[in-house]
Amino acid sequence: MSRWHERGAGNLGCILGLALVAVVVVIGVNVVPVRVSVAELQDFCEKEAERASMPRNTDEKMVEAIFRKAMEEHLPVHKEDIKVWRDTGQVHVEVKYRVVLDLLVYKYNWDVEHKIERTLF
């Protein structure tokens, strides 16, 4: 009686393991750079909101700066997606957009929303 199956000589586990590694690599290559870009834009929006109380820093200038940063990060943001307004001692920054992540066999629509509120000094 042969005992090949008891020695771990099966190839199915190896094939499944390699397929799993390939899926993880594809997802990582397509998702990680986009997540980094989204985080960079979030940080930039927070910094712009903190600088809102500086002289000559209007809402329009903030929208333009956020739009330029989104273009640098290659994110699908339009100027209409960026809203900046002030009320009773606070500044509000809101950016909404959709990123399409192409995972080869599936396209995922990721709705991103940045909402920042800061007190004006």
Q: What is the pLDDT along the chain (121 residues), one digit of tens a residue?
A: 555 555 656 678 888 999 899 888 988 888 999 999 999 999 999 999 999 988 888 999 999 999 999 999 999 999 999 999 999 889 999 999 999 998 888 899 999 999 999 998 7
Burial zone of 42 (CB within 10 Å; 0-12 exposed, 13-18 middle, 19+ buried)? middle
Cα distances (Å, whole numbers) of residue 60 to 41, 64, 79: 17, 6, 10
- Kind plus residue range of the DSSP H or E element containing 13: helix 12-50
Number of H helices, E strands in the chain: 2, 3
Q: What's the whole-model pTM score?
A: 0.82
pLDDT at residue 7, rounded to an integer: 61
